[in-house]
Structure 1
Amino acid sequence: MPLRGTAVPTALALALVAGCAPPPSSGDNVVAAAPRRPAVAPASKVPVQKISYPATGSGTYAAAPKEFAGPRSGGEVLRYRVLVEQEINGIAVGEFAETVRSTLADPRGWTAGGDRSFRRVGRGAQADFTIYLVTPGTRDDLCQDDANGYTSCRNGEAVVINVARWVKGVPRYAPGLETYRQYVINHEVGHRLGYGHQLCPGKGEPAPVMQQQTLGMHGCKPHSWPYRDDELYTGAAGQYNDSAPPREGAAQP
């Protein structure tokens, strides 16, 4: 059942299986058999779904199931829920949730200090915060800020990821989309943990994860993790007067 209101994708690998047999004996008076074509399993006909979403969704969500309660690093356990807006096509809730889980569990992430760990809970369970993947318009409803439809945000217990940034990233972010996705999760969860915006520490240096890398690098290099060399990596507190690019609309398949 879909989750409504405040309750808080996919490429399939196509495997080609080929037979392999030992060659015939090379002894005298042996006639080699004619070569046989290896058997090939038929390729799957399941189409690859493209990603699409409207400018604004309905505010109805699919919820990721709880994760297995395996070992944790110690400290405070923060429970979070993952919701994906129903009108986002081509991004399965489990796919998004796994990227979130692996990012939060990475040894360079927010658990590196040993004072906290994260656990995903399922529908209806008590959570400390919720991570949403939403359309640009719903982003504005949840963020309650300048309604730019471009950035992601954190508003109270809501960590809001704009699907437009999840799918497209931002211009000139050289490491690519995977790194940007790790950044935006860590940045917005960082706000939930109480960290504010930070400045680039120097030209050519890695950007702190709490720098607003979505809007500009200011001489720093893209960097997606809170910790470097087992130390929390920060810059001076503050933010730049960067404007968000124009609002984006729907994405068609």
Structure 2
Amino acid sequence: MASRLIHDRRREPEPLPSDPRAAREIVRAARHRRREDARRRRYLVAGVMASAGLLAILGMGRQMLFASDDEPSTAPARREAPMLAPPSQPASPPPEAGPAKGEGTFAYATTAGPVAGAAGALKKYRVAVENGSGQQADAFAAAIEKTYGDPRGWTAGADVRLQRVAGEGAADFTVFLATPVTSEAMCATAGLHTDGYSSCRIAGKVIINLARWLTSIPDYGAPVADYQTYVINHETGHELGHGHEACPGDGKPAPVMMQQTYGLKGCVANSWPYVDGQRYTGPKVP
């Protein structure tokens, strides 16, 4: 039809007959033909545009339906999964795990501490314990100070020194001891969903889960005190810029930056970043 319309537009005009009536009929017929041609062209253009719109809508629907995790989608955002799947937990945590929820406010250790480490940049930290957790801030601060001052700790690398400040004084980061409900809420502010099970670190905050602090994890193979040292060193390691590492082999010590809370994967428990005077690491986890 389009070729015929083009041919009609290029056709030379025919001479009109001398009879006025016949001439008027020819002119009317030509006008009618032009109007019909214009109407058909409008329908043709409208049909093409409608088809293009339908294809676009179908394409968008297919993209939304089959979008992979690597492709942007206009579908509602999904809740982030936990950092790792936590081990199965009893329906009712044992009494020694402490309360599941505290007051959501914190008490700070009242005293300052000595500088741990002989060289490196000085980083100052505060210590805070959730009110209603049943724990005391000064006792928690003492455990952290002992861990930071150990020659197997992060200061052994002579690239950082650590010092506790009193109360809510100016500091580079804060170490929190929080109940499972509160720690989950704090970690979630940075998109980390711990299911109330594990500890985490977000910028300027090392957040220790109370239940893990008091009871460790199943089958850890070491005393709770060793797990406490590990979790302090692990989350502080993140604050100092270290990423996760994997078990280097069955029966070997677990790197402190391995997520030991979720299982040892064939390694044996290890609380320290330095072993036998050397920085001990495993394969980097992407």
Q: With the length of structure 2 as denominator, give the TM-score of the two structures.
A: 0.63
Once the two structures are TM-superposed, the CA of residue 53 in structure 1 deviates from its matched residue by 4.3
1:63 correspondence with 2:108:
yes
Deviation string, structure 1 residues 98-138 (Cα, Å, up to 9, x no partner): 00000011000000011111100122311100000001011
Aligned equivalents of 1:129 and 1:164: distance in 2?
22
1:94 correspondence with 2:138:
yes
Aligned equivalents of 1:115 and 1:180: distance in 2?
25
In the alignment of these two chains, the number of paired residues is 189
**Which runs of structure 1 show a deviation greater than 6 angstroms over 4 or more consecutive aligned residues?**
none
Q: Secondary structure at the match of 1:95?
A: helix
One-letter amino acid of the counterpart of residue 88, structure 1: S
1:192: which partner in 2?
A: 239
One-letter amino acid of the counterpart of residue 210, structure 2: V
Out of 150, 153, 159, the position equivalent to 1:106 is 150
Aligned equivalents of 1:92 and 1:51: distance in 2?
16
1:76 correspondence with 2:121:
yes
1:237: which partner in 2?
A: 284
- Structure holding more helix per residue: 2
Q: Secondary structure at the match of 1:112?
A: helix
Out of 192, 216, 220, the position equivalent to 1:173 is 220
Once the two structures are TM-superposed, the CA of residue 230 in structure 1 deviates from its matched residue by 1.5
Aligned equivalents of 1:193 and 1:168: distance in 2?
26
Verify the 8 A CA contact 2:116 2:155 in the aligned structure 1.
Answer: no
One-letter amino acid of the counterpart of residue 95, structure 1: A
Aligned equivalents of 1:52 and 1:171: distance in 2?
13
Once the two structures are TM-superposed, the CA of residue 71 in structure 1 deviates from its matched residue by 7.2
Verify the 8 A CA contact 1:142 1:158 in the aligned structure 2.
Answer: no
Verify the 8 A CA contact 2:116 2:148 in the aligned structure 1.
Answer: no
Aligned equivalents of 2:127 and 2:194: distance in 1?
22
Verify the 8 A CA contact 2:115 2:162 in the aligned structure 1.
Answer: no
Aligned equivalents of 1:51 and 1:64: distance in 2?
23
2:208: which partner in 1?
A: 161
One-letter amino acid of the counterpart of residue 168, structure 1: T
Once the two structures are TM-superposed, the CA of residue 181 in structure 1 deviates from its matched residue by 0.3
Verify the 8 A CA contact 2:127 2:164 in the aligned structure 1.
Answer: yes
Aligned equivalents of 1:125 and 1:227: distance in 2?
30
Identity percentage of aligned residues = 45
Verify the 8 A CA contact 1:51 1:88 in the aligned structure 2.
Answer: no
Aligned equivalents of 1:168 and 1:103: distance in 2?
18
Say if 1:201 and 1:52 are closer, same or farther in 2 by CA, change over 3 A.
closer
Once the two structures are TM-superposed, the CA of residue 238 in structure 1 deviates from its matched residue by 1.1
Structure 2 unaligned spans of 5+: 1-94
1:115 correspondence with 2:159:
yes
Q: Secondary structure at the match of 2:182?
A: helix
Say if 1:225 and 1:202 are closer, same or farther in 2 by CA, change over 3 A.
same
Bigger radius of gyration among the two: 2
2:264: which partner in 1?
A: 217
Verify the 8 A CA contact 1:53 1:87 in the aligned structure 2.
Answer: no
Say if 1:92 and 1:71 are closer, same or farther in 2 by CA, change over 3 A.
closer
